[in-house]
Each structure stands twice: as C-alpha cells, then as structure tokens.
Amino acid sequence: MEKLIYIHVLRLGESLYESDDVDSGYRDATNDWYLLKQTDGNNGVEIQFSRVFEDINQVNHPGPALVGADCAVIGSFIYVIGGRSNVTEMYSVRCGGDGCKEIRCLDTRNARDGWKTCFALPFTFSGGRSAVVDGRWLYLFAGNRHDGFRNPDPWGFALNVVDSNKGEVEVRKIIKPHLSRFYPIASASLSPGTLIAYMADERILYQLDCSNGSWTVYQKDLPYGSYPFLGCITLSDDGILYTYDTIHMRLDSYDVANRKELPSVDLPRSFWFGREEDVELIVLAKDRFCVIWHDDGYDVNEICIYYTRFSVSYDLPKPTATVEDSRAFPIRGVEILNIVTLDPHSDAMANDLSCNSGVDN
C-alpha cells in the first residue's frame, strides 16, 4: 500500500446556491476531509476515495472554514496550523482577521476522539508554511504574513510537539535567512538536526542548523521560481526538488545532495487537462507521482477533485512520463485547502474505514 492522501477542503455553504451574492457560500462554509487510498490489487493499483471525519468533533473553530491554514503530519497525527475565516462577519476573538493563534490536531488512529486544540501559538498564523524535523519538531514559517508585518522578528518558531505531553512545550525562535521576504516554498529535513529550505524569491537553497538556528547558503541560482507559472515546487524526503510547471507542462528536478540538475521531462498531451491549473504534486515513490487539483465539474453546482497518477522513466536521450491512472471525483461546492500524506503503517484508517460514509455530495 502506498501513501494515504488526506485532502482538507473548504465546503461552501448552501447559501451559495440560494443567492446571487458570490460570497454568500463562504458565510456558512465548513471544513471537510477526504481520504484517497491507493492499494495494490490483482489488476494494478486500486483507488478508494471517501469522505472522512464527518461524524466526529470537527476542526471548525468556531465555525468558519480555515482558509490560510497549513497542515503537517507527525506519525499518525495531522496538525492544522492557524487559518482564518475569509468573511468579515465570521471573525471571532480567537480566529480573527489576522489569523488564528492555535494548532489543532487529530490522531488518525483514534479519529473518533475528534479534533483538539493542542497548542496556543505566540503569533497569528495564516498563509505560511510548516516543516517537520527529526519527527518531533514542527517548524512554522509565517514569512511576511506574520501578524500583518512584512519583516517580523522572529520570522518563525519551532515547537517540540511530540514531547509536549511531558511538560511545557519547548519553543525556539527562528530568524530569517539573509534578505528573504517570504517563507520557504518547499522544505524538508534530509539529515538529522537540519532543514533544507528553498526560497523561490531568491532562487536559493538554504540549510538550517536546528541546534543553533543559523542559516547557511546551500546552493545559489537555481532556475526554479514560483512565478509566472502555476503549479508547484516540492522537496521530497530523498532530497529531490521537483518543479511541476503547468504552463510549459514540464517536470523539472534537482538533486539536492549531489547539487545537480536532472533531465527535464516534457509531459505528454494526456496531461494537458491540468494545464494552467494550480496543482499539488505528491511523490509516491521513486519516479512515481500523482497530481491533485480542483476545478469545475460537469454541472454548474459541481466541483471535481482531479487525480492523475504517473511514472517517469529517466532513460536518455529522452525521459518520458506515462499516465497510470486518472480520476475525477465530483463533489458539491468545495475548494482544496491542504493535502497531506501519511504512512499507512502509522494510520488505522488504512485498514479501518469505519469513520467513512463514502463520497457525500
């Protein structure tokens, strides 16, 4: 069984369909979660897509969908960090216009215990990024969106979330590297006690020594920015920086450990239904990927969550990509907020879908 993919969505409220006001559906929007499960079967990889967590204590807090939240995974826990409502009337004291100061968590092994507020943050967090180091530290980078200030000090925080039940949470302040204006667009811990982070605005890879909080330049002048193309940049756990370019329909790769570019892969026309879409690239295994995004469905009130699985052969002289599966899951009124993956061995949902009710429109 490959990685379990949890998709965090904003479900627009029914008022969207009862009013001509475009924002009306956001006023009663809620959070929903879906699980995309990939299992090796007799006829290849079998795909299950189910709505989950709908019958447990929800993450909505106090009710609006958590736009701007980021998600992280440690073990069997999903962490939802910060977020905000995007409708003025729904702002509250705890989740206000500048964002929320809380981290909520769910243990997928005991999902019926529901979502809990597990940490209070020293700053509001909305629109930033997170990273996990050594399987216990949660690094939060708020960038220029930290409390509305362009140059916050500190630039981020690290929280020891795994050992927090042993006493007070250990928190470290993180300074920003050099002149970076934004948070890292991709990051991963490739060796114990370190974090590699890619700053797309500078096109520089930085390395953070987590023991003393110091940054050093790891590699300059990388050819991958975040604009003008849509798509995404992902740094995998095995140290490959992937750029999925949906304007030029190309997959670019950079081997971080060996500091070298890998051959680009031109994506065939079978991929072009995702052209110019804002997609999420997920590394499933070596040279095997999937992309997920949402777009209009087959009727006016329908949105589809699209899934395409593909493999890449880097055989020269021309590397090729092959589509292995492609699905569209029609759902009423959703927008994707976050996508996280879990190791199936750490997640009871891999074998017990008792919290699911199937795809519910």
Tell me what pLDDT residue 90 has. Answer: 37
Is the pLDDT at 305 greater than 50? The verdict is yes
Minimum mean pLDDT range among 10-24, 63-77, 276-290: 10-24
- Tell the residue number behind the tokens 């627009």, with chain if given: 12
Q: Is the pLDDT of residue 204 over 50?
A: yes
Residue 66 lies in a domain: yes
**Residue 145: closest CA among 131, 132, 160, 156:** 156
pLDDT value of position 16: 57
| Average pLDDT of span 197-224 | 88
Residue range 101-116, pLDDT digits in tens: 888 888 988 888 888 8
13-22, 48-57, 190-199, 265-274: the lowest-pLDDT one: 13-22
- The per-residue DSSP string of 274-323 comes to GTT---EEEEEETTEEEEEEEEE-SSTTEEEEEEEEEEEE--SSS-EEEE
pLDDT band of residue 299 (cuts 50, 70, 90) is low
Does the pLDDT of residue 221 top 50, yes or no? Answer: yes
Residues 6+ apart with CB under 8 A from 165: none
Contact between residue 299 and residue 313 where contact means Cβ atoms under 8 Å apart: no
The average pLDDT across 153-175 equals: 76
User: What is the chain's mean pLDDT, rounded?
Assistant: 77
How many separate domains does the chain show? 1
Query: Does the pLDDT at position 22 exceed 80?
Result: no
Nearest partner of 125 among 72, 163, 76, judged by Cα: 72
pLDDT value of residue 206 = 92
**Average pLDDT rounded to a whole number, residues 24-42:** 78
How far, CA to CA in Å, does 169 sit from each of 137, 166, 172, 268? 11, 8, 10, 49
pLDDT of residue 150: 46
What pLDDT score was predicted for residue 147? 43
Would 358 be classed as within a structural domain? no
Residue 359 lies inside a defined structural domain of this protein? no
Q: Tell whether 180 is covered by a domain.
A: yes
| Distance between CA atoms of residues 132 and 138, nearest Å | 5
Name the pLDDT band for 346 (thresholds 50, 70, 90): low
Average pLDDT, integer, range 139-151: 57
- Confidence check: pLDDT of 255 > 70: yes
The SS3 call for residue 56 is coil
Residue 208 lies in a domain: yes
Query: According to the per-residue pLDDT averaged within each range, which of 33-42, 72-81, 155-164 is highest?
Result: 72-81
In a domain, 174, yes or no: yes
Looking at the domain assignment, is residue 218 inside a domain? Answer: yes
The answer to whether the CB of 355 falls within 8 A of the CB of 109 is no
Q: How far is CA 66 from the centre of its chain?
A: 13
| Residue with tokens 């790769």, as numbered in its chain | 253
- Rounded to an integer, the average pLDDT of 14-19 is 61
List, edge to edge, every strand of the sheet that includes 186-188. 186-188, 194-199, 204-209, 214-219
CATH number of residue 235's parent domain: 2.120.10.80
pLDDT value at 34 more than 90:
yes
Confidence of residue 126 (pLDDT cuts 50, 70, 90): confident
Identify the pLDDT of residue 1.
Answer: 58
55 against 230, higher pLDDT: 55
**Domain of residue 46, residue span:** 4-350
**360 occurs within a structural domain:** no
